[in-house]
Structure 1
Amino acid sequence: MRPSEIMRGSPAAPQAQVTRANWRTFPAIRWGFTHVRELLPTAEIRRADQASPLPMAPREILGLGFVAPDGTETSVSATLQETFADALLVMHRGALVHEWYGDGMTAATPHLICSVSKSIAGTLGGVLVGRGLIDPDAQVVSYLPELKGSAYDGCTVRHLLDMTVGIAFEENYEDPAGDVARYRYASGWDLPPPGVEVTDQRSLLARMPASGKPHGKVFHYVSPNTDVLGWVYERACGASYPAILSEYLWQPMGAAENASMTLDALGASRSAGGISATARDLVRFGEMIRCRGNVAGRQVVPGWWIDDIHTNGDSQAWADGDLAEIFPGARYRSKWYTIDPARGDLAAIGIHGQWIYVDVQTDTVIVKLATHPKAMDIALDLRWLAAYRAIAAHVAAS
């Protein structure tokens, strides 16, 4: 079913209806990810009064061929059509050279970006550190004493940023009764089955068990860590996460459109994965990262914070961690992936196919949004990584 055929009619046919019970299942996801504010409680992330410019310099991208990781020859166009893509934007040296939208998408359509939200949170952290509002080396419980006795007792803000908290939580998206399922109930994303007790997000965070392993040693990807980070920001700044994000990052970078953040039943933000934004504002964000936090001569994010993302991150912690087989030799710092440290490319990645890819070697930023049927589809992600590198080489050579 095409996205434009979902939720059509008064009312829509049963097979075309999207509800909180099915909004992240295929094909409902193809409508759900662009209509989150109609499905869940949300808060607004305010845009700038004046958007930063997006100069246009169109180039042909769709016909570009490349070799997929499995050795087959394909093209950007075929990959868009075969991987449930919703948008593809390419910026080179500050100019938007390609802009493609799938069915149901426009330049003004907000799209859920899942864990790309984490990289935004990590970038916001650099602004707050630069302003002296948070200390990355401080204990989390110094901001949030409510978390004493939980997995977060004894860890630092840096451990949250780098996903090295010693926590007993498994990020398994397919287990209907696992940690992620309970977390989604608490965050208000999923309706619990009868008989399952539901708490709010922060009550759940305060009960997170420790793994018994030391903090800071192993990369362990856990979404709730970023919700704790957002909570730290709120306590330090005395404002809600959406308001902080708007004031310190979204407005200063020149976002053209309001974004939004999903909330739980008590108004807690899901900073780990709840942002919806337009592809154009995401490419503005990626371009700011490429330019070391600078937008049109204004230093929005400290340049040293971006440099630290590029040059630091614990290679051994990554090698011992959850995702080493997917990206061998990578690093993770402040919620950004350095996929190839020799190349210095950065990536913000979310389930169901969300990407911001920043390649400083070729001055290229790529945003790709999608609605993969599977939460994690490694084959599709690796195919797209090959596409990003082919696109970057192409625009740099042309």
Structure 2
Amino acid sequence: MTSISPFRDPTLPCNIRIPNQDWDRAPWNRWTFQHVREILPTTQVWRGAGPASVLPADLRDIEVIPFEVEEQAYTIGSFLETSYANGFLVLHGGKIVAERYLNGMTPYTQHLSQSVAKSVVGTLAGILIGRGMVDPTASLTHYLPELAATAYNGATVQHVLDMTSGVAFDETYTALDSHMAQLDVASGWKTLVNPNWHTNVWDLMLSLKDLECPHGTSFRYRSIETDVLSFVLQRAAATPLAELVSRELWAPMGAEEDAYFTVDAAGYALGDGGFNATLRDYARLALLHLRGGEIDGRRIVPTEWIAGTRFDADPRLFGGIYQEVLPAGAYHNQFWIEDTARGVYMARGVFGQLIYIDPGADFAAIVLSSWPEFVSTTRTRTALTAVRAVREALS
């Protein structure tokens, strides 16, 4: 079996190596999610030359907070010890009230965020939209005329921001012949197994020719939508995605450490899931949203865009399996909306990545995990119930 870098886990024999087709699967992901740049090609997201924005601490003992899910009793402490968590941080009132590192993670470890990356790209889109560099009502072909020959013809920028284009894209993570499997290969995450598949994300995007429903009629989770959006932003700003995130978001935000993206064979930074950063810098991103787009007195994201993200989603487009976890939910601007009345919203990624943002309670929680499963309704409900229990205990 082809394998990649040595896997040094004290629970496994020292000569075990990570199979390159399964590096993101259990048990390997317990190590790899903290070491992605040792496995895949990456590009830097520079933190800039300025000081890190301040994250004051007022630590509380939250581990004894109880909660219950599906008749199973937990405390926050037992949740962290049994949920494959690697990092956990809670912000309340602009201060860190809890910060835990597990499974060898440290404050300086950059952790793969999976689809939390989509919300990083969505935040960047909000910045460029606020500057008038991108028009969300414009057609995608205004920025990317090459898409006229694809199923994206007729879709708008807002359609991909909300994942409501009608383009057929099979997101099944475990199917060997799905579009998602093709995206894994195109992004450089997996080795080419089918000679007819594309070896970069742009070419895969241009190959999508089929519609499954009219544009704008239904939310259906399609990771490739974020990549389409990323190419729009790159084209509008004439700047590669990683450099854009650094210049417009990461450096102005006052990140403490560089972040990085994985890149495909053509050098494209994977906007849909290849972003890696430290726990505290994910917390700074959450604080930026809690403060309506400002941090340390610096306006970075338009207030109107954040308010629109929270309250302007259309829950009528959201249904089916997505309501198993978010029965009153919606999706808008590359964020999951818990409910459009309260305006609680979140960034989520497979294998248990979560940034939960409640501006009304001045509360945010970040969970970085390496679950054995891509998705789990029970684990997601448990994580959400845990952070809500902390919120209620602090309020």
The TM-score range, normalised by the shorter chain, is: over 0.9
Contact 1:221 1:322 (8 Å CA) reproduced: no
* Structure 2 counterparts to residues 167-206 of structure 1, below 5 A: 167-193=167-193, 197-206=197-206
Say whether 1:359 aligns with 2:381.
no
1:212 CA displacement: 4.6
Aligned to 2:129: 129
Task: State the Cα deviation string for residues 14-55 of structure 1 (Å, max 9, x = none).
Answer: 43x225332111111111111111111111001132110110
Task: State the Cα deviation string for residues 340-380 of structure 1 (Å, max 9, x = none).
Answer: 22332111000000000011232111000000011111110
1:252 CA displacement: 0.8
Structure 1: how far apart are the matches of 2:274 and 2:52? Answer: 23
Aligned to 1:86: 86
1:148 CA displacement: 1.3
Residues 110 and 126 (structure 1), Cα distance of their counterparts in 2 relative to 1, 3 Å cut: same
- Partner AA of 1:60 in structure 2: D
Say whether 1:155 aligns with 2:169.
no
Name which of structure 1's ranges 230-239 and 327-336 shifts more when overlaid on structure 2: 327-336
* Structure 2 counterparts to residues 1-398 of structure 1, below 5 A: 6-7=7-8, 13-15=14-16, 17-48=17-48, 49-68=50-69, 70-193=70-193, 197-319=197-319, 323-396=322-395
Contact 2:312 2:340 (8 Å CA) reproduced: no
Query: Secondary structure at the residue paired with 1:252?
Result: helix
Structure 1: how far apart are the matches of 2:105 and 2:18? Answer: 17
Contact 2:88 2:100 (8 Å CA) reproduced: yes
Structure 1: how far apart are the matches of 2:122 and 2:164? Answer: 14
Q: TM-score, normalised by structure 1?
A: 0.94
1:326 CA displacement: 2.8
Structure 2: how far apart are the matches of 1:53 and 1:115? Answer: 26
- Partner AA of 1:332 in structure 2: Y
Query: Secondary structure at the residue paired with 1:251?
Result: helix
Name which of structure 1's ranges 273-282 and 336-345 shifts more when overlaid on structure 2: 336-345
Structure 1: how far apart are the matches of 2:273 and 2:182? Answer: 15
Contact 2:113 2:368 (8 Å CA) reproduced: yes
Structure 2: how far apart are the matches of 1:344 and 1:146? Answer: 36
Contact 2:259 2:278 (8 Å CA) reproduced: yes
Contact 1:227 1:269 (8 Å CA) reproduced: no
Q: TM-score, normalised by structure 2?
A: 0.95
Aligned to 2:3: none
Contact 1:144 1:232 (8 Å CA) reproduced: yes
- Partner AA of 1:391 in structure 2: V
Query: Secondary structure at the residue paired with 2:159?
Result: helix
Number of residue-to-residue matches in the alignment: 388
Structure 1: how far apart are the matches of 2:99 and 2:381? Answer: 21
**Runs of 5+ in structure 2 lacking a partner?**
1-5
**4+ residue stretches of structure 1 with deviation over 6 A?**
none
Structure 2: how far apart are the matches of 1:194 and 1:170? Answer: 17
Structure 1: how far apart are the matches of 2:102 and 2:344? Answer: 26
Structure 2: how far apart are the matches of 1:162 and 1:270? Answer: 18
**Runs of 5+ in structure 1 lacking a partner?**
none
Task: State the Cα deviation string for residues 251-304 of structure 1 (Å, max 9, x = none).
Answer: 111111000011110111210100000010001100110111010111110000
Contact 1:338 1:346 (8 Å CA) reproduced: yes
1:8 CA displacement: 5.7
Query: Secondary structure at the residue paired with 1:256?
Result: coil
